[in-house]
Amino acid sequence: MARMQQKSSSEALEKLSALLQELEKWNKKYNLTAIRNIQDMVGAHIMDSLSARPFIHGKSIIDVGTGAGFPGLPLAIVEPRSEFMLLDSNRKKIGFIMHIINFLELKNVTIEKIRAENFFPIKGFDTVIARALSNVPNLISLTKHMLTDQGIIVALKGKQPIEELNKIPESWQYNLSRVVVPGINNHERHIVTLKQAGRAST
């Protein structure tokens, strides 16, 4: 089982705390997330997002179907040298992300208000990441054109998605990891990393 071993700077921890405080404020007005209690948000949003940190490949990452900015915002905060694009079609959630980018002065985050199937980037990303967006075969179909030649897809799933993995194209390989997320010990978290066969990530 993979555990989160990387440490974060005190500045990053302050920004993560500020992110949650702003989310709690905005949530009262715009209903951005079903989780209302800020203590519950620590595990369900921050720690859960950071569980994907060891699996990220390269320096350009796109969070597809980011919602209110998870896992993209926490990952961007703890990885300031990497470039993150956050993609979603929900206007209110994109508005919150824009606010956070300005409020926390996140220089390494850009946003796109568009549906995944309509987004065709000029340049590919090293990592496509998605949390609870779609089943794995559909996620591949939606995002494979967003990747560089050596790019990978990182999918955050709950229980082992064995049925989904059995349906992925033969030209794709996967690795399945169970992760321990502090604060949500009563829920399973598995992370699937996917790459096209014959394309070794560096």
28 belongs to a structural domain: yes
- 3-class DSSP state of 87: strand
pLDDT at site 187: 81
What residue numbers bound the domain in which 90 lies?
Answer: 10-196
Residue 144 domain-assigned (yes or no)? yes
pLDDT of residue 200: 56
Contacts for 108 with CB less than 8 Å, ≥ 6 apart: 76, 79, 80, 81, 82, 83, 84
Instruction: Name which of 49, 54, 39 is nearest 70 in CA terms.
Output: 49
Task: Say if 54 falls within a structural domain.
Answer: yes
Tens digit of pLDDT for each residue in 91-145? Answer: 999 999 999 999 999 999 999 999 999 999 999 999 999 998 899 999 999 999 9
Q: Give, for 131, the enclosing helix (H) or strand (E).
A: strand 125-131
DSSP secondary structure string, 93-116? HHHHHHHHHHHTT-TTEEEEES-G
Query: Which residue positions in the chain have pLDDT lower than 70?
Result: 1-7, 199-202
Supply the CATH number for residue 123's domain: 3.40.50.150
Q: What is the pLDDT of residue 1?
A: 37
For 73, the enclosing helix (H) or strand (E) is: helix 72-78
In a domain, 5, yes or no: no
Is position 132 within any domain?
Answer: yes
Q: Tokens in use for 100?
A: 């956070």
- What pLDDT was estimated at residue 201? 52
Is 202 a domain residue?
A: no
1 domain residue, yes or no: no
Domain total for the chain?
1
